[in-house]
């Protein structure tokens, strides 16, 4: 079975240049530093005792820090994949090969996501520390990694679409970070704003409206908090057929797939 040459090249190139080990080292250093620093702050006044509830706090700090790092790393890795080929004037050469534009986009995406997945897998020892102290169910940990995979898919697709649209990597990277920030902070701000406005109009009604609940369901921070066991943060939720994680899954996989299809069409010189 032959391996896509673009995928093979993109998978091995970072390791041959020695860049990947450094990114991995810095990623683990930052994430481990946050976690160990939090543990030290909690235990410095009672060094010989352990409160089991602290393992849940460590789990929360570790999970939020991981989400923030993924929001920085994933778009950054994909935002220059196609625009970089265009700047090096190698994109036209790539397009006249037997590879289809959609195949090129998927190869670039898979190689970038494979490296990001390696970063997530490398943090397993940090999570094993939380499991060792107890307070976290293995199913909750698996849900968390499933959440990271789905989130990573959309973040990578955003970077890929920006890379296919913009000619310069710098503009593509900035736009990717802007859209990611809009998804993480903008949806939360808009949900709170609509919530407060509708409260003033419909005084006494505490149920969340459809736009508010939808914005909260697609917000990665709120979804992360729900996985960690937090309840609804802005009042009583409406009784929907699809749970919050179902809305999150459909939105992130659907929008991510549409962005990849659009990127392949954008890359096709015939526009098909």
Nearest to 104 by CA among 116, 87, 92, 118: 92
Cα distances from 14 to residues 27, 73, 120, 159, in angstroms, run: 15, 14, 17, 18
State the Cα–Cα distance between residues 185 and 183, nearest whole angstrom.
Answer: 6
Phi, psi values for residue 207, rounded to 5°: -75, 145
Phi, psi values for residue 244, rounded to 5°: -60, -40
| 272 residues of the chain, pLDDT tens digit each | 455 666 666 666 666 666 777 888 888 888 888 778 877 777 776 666 666 667 777 888 888 888 988 898 898 888 888 888 888 888 888 788 877 888 888 888 888 888 888 888 888 888 877 777 766 777 888 888 899 999 999 999 999 999 999 888 899 999 999 999 999 899 989 988 888 777 765 555 566 778 888 888 899 998 888 888 776 666 666 666 788 889 999 999 999 999 999 998 888 766 65
State the Cα–Cα distance between residues 99 and 5, nearest whole angstrom.
Answer: 9
| pTM, 2 dp | 0.84
Residue/partner pairs of 83-88 with CB below 8 Å, 24 or more apart: 83/163, 83/164, 83/166, 83/167, 83/168, 83/169, 83/172, 84/163, 84/169, 86/167, 87/167, 87/168, 87/169
């Amino acid at each position: 079975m032959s391996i896509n040459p673009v995928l093979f090249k993109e998978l091995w190139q970072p390791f041959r240049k020695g860049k990947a080990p450094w990114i991995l080292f810095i990623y683990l250093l930052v994430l481990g530093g946050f976690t160990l620093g939090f543990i030290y702050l909690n235990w410095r006044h009672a060094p010989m005792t352990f409160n089991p509830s602290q393992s849940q706090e460590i789990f929360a700090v570790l999970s939020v820090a991981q989400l923030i790092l993924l929001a920085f790393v994933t778009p950054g890795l994909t935002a220059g994949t196609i625009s970089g080929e265009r700047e090096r004037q190698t994109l036209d050469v790539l397009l006249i090969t037997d590879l289809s534009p959609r195949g090129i986009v998927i190869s670039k995406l898979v190689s970038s996501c494979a490296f990001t997945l390696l970063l997530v897998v490398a943090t397993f020892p940090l999570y094993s520390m939380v499991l060792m102290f107890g307070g976290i169910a293995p199913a909750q940990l698996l849900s968390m990694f499933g959440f990271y995979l789905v989130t990573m898919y959309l973040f990578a697709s955003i970077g890929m679409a920006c890379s296919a649209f913009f000619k310069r990597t710098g503009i593509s990277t900035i736009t990717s970070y802007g859209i990611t920030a809009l998804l993480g902070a903008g949806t939360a701000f808009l949900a709170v704003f609509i919530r407060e406005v509708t409260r003033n109009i419909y005084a006494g009604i505490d149920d969340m409206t459809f736009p508010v609940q939808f914005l909260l369901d697609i917000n990665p921070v709120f979804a992360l908090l729900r996985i960690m066991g937090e309840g609804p943060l802005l009042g009583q939720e409406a009784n929907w057929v699809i749970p919050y994680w179902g809305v999150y899954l459909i939105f992130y996989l659907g929008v991510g797939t549409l962005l990849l299809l659009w990127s392949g069409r954008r890359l096709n010189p015939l526009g098909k």
